[in-house]
Structure 1
């Protein structure tokens, strides 16, 4: 399965992705996303500084307003 980077505050999403067989890595620092196939962010501090440094080639999913199951569906659809 895929290696998914997930922000630390999204523990329900982390568990749901693990239950579906994905490898989950907590995103504590920028470099944590480097080898991930996809990243899930909370959206709380999204682009606060207006900077656009790319640290991942794959999709980045904003989990704001989504349930853990919805995030899992989004991750799986984007990785196909």
Structure 2
């Protein structure tokens, strides 16, 4: 089972991914600044990719970040599957 971090406020995405068999953990903007919080995730789904994204990328390598803005839950799931093969 893949572990996916989903930014709080993206409830339809969280629910869709949970029903699709992913283990989903919600996080808020304060948690994403914690260097250890996102360790162990297979992908991170969030909005506002430009908000401190460099700080996150410095702490996690090889974890796909998916910008949810403008995407349906189905499109997000497809993107996750393509990036974590």
Report the TM range for the smaller structure's normalisation: 0.7 to 0.9
Q: TM-score, normalised by structure 1?
A: 0.84
The CA deviation at 1:27 is 1.6
- Unaligned ranges ≥5, structure 2: none
- Unaligned ranges ≥5, structure 1: none
The CA deviation at 1:47 is 2.3
The CA deviation at 1:39 is 0.2
- Contact 1:27 1:33 (C-alpha < 8 Å) held by counterparts: no
Structure richer in helix, relative to its length: 2
The corresponding residue for 1:22 is 22
Query: How many pairs does the alignment contain?
Result: 77
For residue 73 of structure 2, the aligned residue among 49, 68, 73 is: 68
The corresponding residue for 1:77 is 82
